[in-house]
Structure 1
Amino acid sequence: MSQPLYRRTVLKCIVAVAASTAFGCRDEEVEDGQVYFPQSVASGEPRPNSVVLWTRAVNSSRPEADVELSLQVARDENFEQRVLVLDGLRATSEHDHTLKVKVTNLEPRTRYYYRFVFEKHGKQLSSRTGRTRTAPAPDAEAPVRFVVANCQDFRGRYYNTWQRLLQLDEDLDFVLFVGDYVYEADSSLVPSEDPARNVSFTDPGSALRRDLGGGRTELVAQSVSNYRDLYRTYRSDPFLQQVHERYPFIIVWDDHEFSDDCWDAHATYTQGRTDEFQPERRRNAELAFFEYQPLDTTDAPPGAIEADREPRYPDTRIWRDFVFGLHLRLFVTDYRTHRPDHLIPEDAYPATVAMDAAVLASLGLSSAFAAETFAYVNIDEFPSQQAVLQGAYVQLAVAAGMDAVVAAARAAAVVQGNLALAYVNPVLAAAAQPGAEPLPPADKPRGLAFVHMGKSELFSRVGSRYVVIKDTFDVYAAWRYATTGREAEDALGEAQEAALLDSAGQSQTWKVVASSVSPTSMIWDLRDKADVEPPSVRNRYYYSVDQWDGFPDKRRDLLTALRDLSGGRALFVAGDIHASFASVEQGVPALTAPAISSTAVQEEAGNEVTAAGFPPGTAVYRYVVTEMEATFREANPGIVFVDTEGHGFTVVEVGPEQLHASYHRISSIHVRENYADRPEALAGLFSRSDFRVRSGSIDVA
């Protein structure tokens, strides 16, 4: 429910509208009151006749008290041509002194200026002035320009990319932010010498302590207070504030606004060692997001939008549809809230046979899996070996941090039935004890187990969410997709997918689908690399199946439907992976914007490959890290452009027949360097790559 409009508010609205003519409108003298608005102002949700305006106001002399505010909206930055004045608004302590207001009855494709005013000791104290713009009317012949941005880790990093966007002073209709606006952790692991770039919690006792092994821990947000701390801190950055002051934002979350690699209300920190279903934590994260972001999830009436009235988990709905003139229809998707678990569970026992001989035979795949490496046994028929395997499971699980009693129960539950000898025999051989003799694979049935998809440890994201063997994973994914009525890959949920496809078929405008994760297939193909050792590593791998590579069948069907329904005028824009991509997937162009500041994918992959036993100097490291871009392009011929090392943003201009995309990038070596006082030096470090997007194609412009 919106806050009531007081009688004085209504009267001033009438006066303001009447005065928004050549005669102008003036009120009491307004003074600089920025100190009372520590996160400045922001706008969002630009539609032809409305926009959402936001601020946070704190009275330092009464920090716990609600703050009464006025909102002024004008056609000019001197506020002489006011179109709206609202009094009696409240930034309440209940919502961390945030306030967002939906303003309606505006003109299409019009620039407006706005400010919030706080009265203290008879003085009118103003926030900084914000600038926003409404969307063009649905029948307007107008090109549309926007920026795609994502992934802005604050900890020890600087927002040089936002600074560059401000330098360019692009004429934009909006900024599309596709996720990871905040990261849920404090600075325990990455302390900065600059205290202004550290993240801490005012109530650390209400946070979760995440054990990363090797004595390393960090605090991650759990309470509403924790999540609010994140937004307050991130929005303290002056360049981020200025971008919000200059452009309206359209925002969706990815995972880190709640928890890394999350699905539904499940975290993944313990890799399956514990139950991480955390609905209350999810609701806390969503409340802070709704408080701090200028968005409208319920098509609220004009006036103040109460954040706690916006539906939260399990009733969350932040996917929504925007129309910008005749040339752009933007559908913002929510990939995290409704999606199922990753197809390979983090706690999957590597030896467990997921598809047995009968299943493979029914699919006509017996000959494809005839090699001895796919042999399996019913381990219940070999009690001595089963006991050894269960003992090994307990030992490994306890070493990973699981309680011994819980580990024993888990071992009894999973070390049974059909198990792959590709995992069983190495464990038995390593045990080197009576009853641990390896089992011969000859004449044994063949099946597909999790170990054949790259899962080699009990509790691990490798072989589950990352570095998954593509060819075996694809077989398993297709079978699960078919046998679960497609629910195994239902990333968007039935209602959202239906709305997306309905939107795609509405008209022949460009249909731009905003996705927090990339549809571009990221594959390492090591099959023909003779210098890769050991030979067992010579496979094709998906780098990440937390993104759309993890739902390959749903991606294929969704992209095909979008292509056909839109008459070929469909485009995906995405983020998440901390790299730049321009590719064509299933006939649909896809643009993946680089990260604002988060660790580049090349560096992240280098750390993981080294930890897996392939340090610099090895052939594996060379192909998947040093030559990552060439390896990705070789394995996916649809990739037109890739940069796995830079930070930046992408500017997109939509016209009637084609789109233009400009990637603005800076090397990741500069992310920890502050260029606030060196704008000319910063400008010289950026490069730009331009592309033309037409129906089903991307070309260098």
Structure 2
Amino acid sequence: MDRRKFLKWGSFLTISTAAAGLAGCSNSDDDDDSDTGDGGNAGPIQYPQGVASGDPRPDSVILWTRAIGEDATAVSVRVQVASEENFTQLLVDELVSAEPDWDHTVRHKVIGLDAGTDYYYRFVSGDSISPVGRTRTAPLENADVAQLKFAFISCQDWSVNHWAAFDELLTQDLDFVVHLGDYVYETVSADFQSGAVESAHAPLTLPDGTVRDDGATYATTLADYRTLYRSYRSDPRLQALHARFPVIGIWDDHEFSDDCWQDRQTYETTDDETRHTPRRRSASQAWFEFMPADVSLDLENPSFDNIQIYRAFRFGTLATLLMTDERLYRADHIIPEQQVGSDIGSRYFVPKSLLSQVEAQKMANAGGQLGPVSILGDTQRGWWKTQLRSSTTTWNLWGNEVSLLRMQFNGTLAVAGLLAQGLVAAIPALAPLVPEIAKALAQDLANADHSSGKPVTDYPALSAVLGQAGIPAAVVASQIKPLLDAQLPPSLLLDEYLLNADQWDGYNAERKDLMAFVRDTGIRNLVALTGDIHAFFAGPVMDDYDANHPQPIMVDLVTAGISSNSFFSYFKSVVDNDPTFQVAKPLIYTEENGVVVNTFNDTLRQFNADWLRYIDTDAQGFATVTLTAAKLSCVFNKLKPLDGGQAPATPAVASQTLLTVTAGTPGVTLGA
């Protein structure tokens, strides 16, 4: 390979400049471009994953396809771009090569385009013509943009539920789509993928893969990850979405490994003691090959972080969009799995006080630095602050993988409430005293003897309340105490917990640092667009959730997954199957006449009412946004469930919830 060709393919991004009035011939002087037809391909060419565009800027866009021939050799195709769908006037007609080293994918950047303009593109090799894609450039940086419309999506597990969301998105007139990660799932046949799935999605298999003890297989090699992307992009609905809208994407964890950090996997308690650099690099390369993102990959760099995907976009004077990478640079979870022997207590259901203590100790050991307790890493955090400090747009949007909203749970208060309700059910005359009884039970549980692993108490505070109601202490001791004792949970549940320390709740010091920066720098109208957690949430992000009077700084809007099983379903599975947590079942759901009733929403609202302004923990769906200088209007689109093994017919949206963020106010209003 000569030096010129190496420079062309070294970072796997070819570039051409749009020029008006081409007569259908190549405008390139590359050595490879002497043939103006099919480039000498041996036979017909196929485009099995369709076409895509991404990362729109005022003068450029990335175009993508995967072109395969009858053998494994390189395939020559022409990239054609026009202002009209009939391609009578070509602006680009460039011969490029789909190389086997890059899985026959093409990533081509077109520059010299007009701002805020629709373009059509296709790939041509002789008589083999790809589907036609439409893309749209961003407006000029100083343009007075009246409105932007876009969607943000995440978590599209091939193996559960359905992808009717993409059909719904195709009915929208959007400027672009933001994808927040979990574009593919690295596992097949995992427990969380055991639910019903539409018949259009056959079971996936991996050419290599590693089988876990639980029977799941996870992608391990470059061939595995490429297989996932090829399979996901074989779905015609996802192809159509990419062909219609430019996508601005980042990854989350499942593009590499569930709950990953850097090049560490976390399937088993001791997994992340070992680096998995080749696996991480393979996952990054496959993402790079299949996503139309304006980023570069350095295969000569032997490290796990040989790619940078965080980047910024600007849409006139209306909005800046920052896309961050919250996996490649993050530190280990504050409480390592090895310390507690499980992901419970490390990543999930983590005692809040313990996490705070360990975080403070790690920072003290690092001289007060955030590096050991960071999601973003020092360099990216500095970039994030610099971008916001220099922003002059009305709105600042943050493509943020994991939620910034506090999701806490007070086990003592929750169990006391359940016990009070149970007591009233047994003695209905006590109904007027429910608040006092719950408060007394909380006091008794807090003061109980927990040395045996289960609370032991004579319920003195409760006895005092019931005594005022005419129930003597002897009756409390002989009749009510045994009734309550039979319902007591293990003592470990009687604490204050954070539900998910894999998200920003687990990296509280850095979150406080970012919010203090936003507050003190005077940055206004900052809104995070978030995915990951398979539920709809919305609310203000506080400067310090643990302060006596926390102040709102920005807004977090969290979309449910396209198809992944819901946040609620995971907690339901826990209380159904783990004896330790079965006593908490009423906090997650109840059953009425055989119908499951979600109580998890109310449980979360009870302990997070100041910031969780909207909650739907049992949903699949997507979010659409209309942005003007005056307000951001977000619609949470909740999807209908599977219909007899088929995706629901259009309209597949079961309900829509409108949320409004008014410029100048870091808060969320339900409705217009």
Give me the TM-score of the superposition, normalised by structure 1. Answer: 0.74
The structure 1 residue matched to 2:94, chosen from 71, 86, 90, is 86
Cα 1:228–1:515, aligned 2, differ >3 Å: closer, same or farther?
same
Distance 2:107 2:390 in 1: 31
Alignment-derived partner of residue 523 in structure 2: 567
1:475, distance to aligned residue in structure 2 (A):
3.4
CA-based RMSD of the aligned residues comes to: 3.0
SS in 2 for 1:138: coil
Distance 2:16 2:411 in 1: 68
Read off the aligned partner of 2:318 and give its amino acid letter: H
Alignment-derived partner of residue 149 in structure 1: 153
The structure 2 residue matched to 1:540, chosen from 486, 492, 496, is 496
The structure 2 residue matched to 1:588, chosen from 532, 554, 562, is 554
Distance 1:249 1:14 in 2: 26
Cα 1:672–1:67, aligned 2, differ >3 Å: closer, same or farther?
farther
Cα 1:180–1:140, aligned 2, differ >3 Å: closer, same or farther?
same
Distance 1:672 1:63 in 2: 40
Q: Deviations over 1:494-520 (max 9, x none)?
A: 111111101111134211111111111
The structure 1 residue matched to 2:262, chosen from 260, 264, 270, is 264
Read off the aligned partner of 1:224 and give its amino acid letter: L
SS in 1 for 2:280: helix
Alignment-derived partner of residue 109 in structure 2: 102
The structure 1 residue matched to 2:384, chosen from 487, 490, 500, is 500
Read off the aligned partner of 1:626 and give its amino acid letter: N
Read off the aligned partner of 1:534 and give its amino acid letter: P
Q: Deviations over 1:14-42 (max 9, x none)?
A: 751899xxxxxxx999xxx9981110000
Alignment-derived partner of residue 550 in structure 1: 506
| More moved, 105-114 vs 603-612 | 603-612
Alignment-derived partner of residue 571 in structure 2: 605
Cα 1:564–1:674, aligned 2, differ >3 Å: closer, same or farther?
farther
1:242 aligns with 2:198: no
Distance 2:117 2:588 in 1: 52
Alignment-derived partner of residue 675 in structure 1: 647
Matches within 5 A, 1:40-119: 40-59=50-69, 62-87=70-95, 89-119=96-126
1:617, distance to aligned residue in structure 2 (A):
7.9
SS in 2 for 1:551: helix
Alignment-derived partner of residue 468 in structure 1: 350
Alignment-derived partner of residue 598 in structure 2: 626
Aligned identity (percent) is 33
Alignment-derived partner of residue 328 in structure 1: 319
Distance 2:404 2:629 in 1: 24
Q: Deviations over 1:235-287 (max 9, x none)?
A: 11111111000000011001000000000100001121674410010001011
CA contact (8 A) 1:12 1:86 kept: no
| More moved, 564-573 vs 249-258 | 564-573
Read off the aligned partner of 2:161 and give its amino acid letter: R
| Number of corresponding residues | 553
Distance 1:17 1:492 in 2: 48
Distance 1:545 1:575 in 2: 15
Q: Deviations over 1:312-360 (max 9, x none)?
A: 7233311111111101111110000011100111111xxxxxxxxxxxx
Cα 1:12–1:141, aligned 2, differ >3 Å: closer, same or farther?
closer
Distance 2:180 2:361 in 1: 31
Distance 2:178 2:157 in 1: 17
Cα 1:165–1:273, aligned 2, differ >3 Å: closer, same or farther?
closer
CA contact (8 A) 2:18 2:91 kept: no
1:615 aligns with 2:582: yes
The structure 1 residue matched to 2:207, chosen from 203, 207, 218, is 203
SS in 2 for 1:115: strand
CA contact (8 A) 1:161 1:649 kept: yes
Alignment-derived partner of residue 463 in structure 2: none
SS in 2 for 1:197: coil
Read off the aligned partner of 1:148 and give its amino acid letter: F
Distance 1:273 1:111 in 2: 47
1:622, distance to aligned residue in structure 2 (A):
4.4
Cα 1:282–1:238, aligned 2, differ >3 Å: closer, same or farther?
same
CA contact (8 A) 2:526 2:554 kept: yes
1:202, distance to aligned residue in structure 2 (A):
5.1
SS in 2 for 1:505: helix
1:688, distance to aligned residue in structure 2 (A):
3.5
SS in 1 for 2:337: coil
Cα 1:466–1:237, aligned 2, differ >3 Å: closer, same or farther?
same
1:488 aligns with 2:383: no
CA contact (8 A) 2:17 2:111 kept: no
1:597, distance to aligned residue in structure 2 (A):
0.5
Give me the TM-score of the superposition, normalised by structure 2. Answer: 0.77
CA contact (8 A) 1:654 1:660 kept: yes
Distance 1:265 1:3 in 2: 26
Distance 1:278 1:196 in 2: 34
Distance 2:398 2:288 in 1: 22
CA contact (8 A) 1:583 1:640 kept: yes
Give ranges in structure 2 of 5+ residues lacking alignment: 1-6, 26-35, 420-487, 543-552, 591-595
Read off the aligned partner of 1:647 and give its amino acid letter: Q
CA contact (8 A) 2:537 2:616 kept: yes
Alignment-derived partner of residue 624 in structure 2: 651
Cα 1:564–1:14, aligned 2, differ >3 Å: closer, same or farther?
same
SS in 2 for 1:558: helix
SS in 1 for 2:168: helix
1:176 aligns with 2:131: no
1:516 aligns with 2:526: no
Cα 1:10–1:336, aligned 2, differ >3 Å: closer, same or farther?
closer
CA contact (8 A) 2:65 2:107 kept: yes
CA contact (8 A) 2:162 2:198 kept: no
Cα 1:145–1:308, aligned 2, differ >3 Å: closer, same or farther?
farther
SS in 1 for 2:289: helix
Read off the aligned partner of 1:553 and give its amino acid letter: A
Read off the aligned partner of 1:218 and give its amino acid letter: A
Distance 1:566 1:18 in 2: 52
SS in 1 for 2:8: coil
Distance 1:125 1:140 in 2: 39
1:639 aligns with 2:612: yes
Read off the aligned partner of 1:295 and give its amino acid letter: A
CA contact (8 A) 2:587 2:599 kept: no
The structure 2 residue matched to 1:158, chosen from 162, 167, 170, is 162
| More moved, 460-469 vs 152-161 | 152-161
Distance 2:16 2:261 in 1: 45
CA contact (8 A) 1:523 1:631 kept: no
Alignment-derived partner of residue 666 in structure 2: 696
SS in 2 for 1:83: strand
Cα 1:58–1:556, aligned 2, differ >3 Å: closer, same or farther?
same
Distance 1:193 1:135 in 2: 37
Distance 2:354 2:643 in 1: 38
Distance 1:78 1:310 in 2: 43
1:82, distance to aligned residue in structure 2 (A):
2.1
Distance 2:23 2:16 in 1: 11
CA contact (8 A) 1:199 1:230 kept: no
Read off the aligned partner of 1:140 and give its amino acid letter: A
Distance 2:301 2:627 in 1: 32
CA contact (8 A) 1:150 1:178 kept: yes
Matches within 5 A, 1:267-346: 267-272=265-270, 275-298=273-296, 308=299, 313-346=304-337
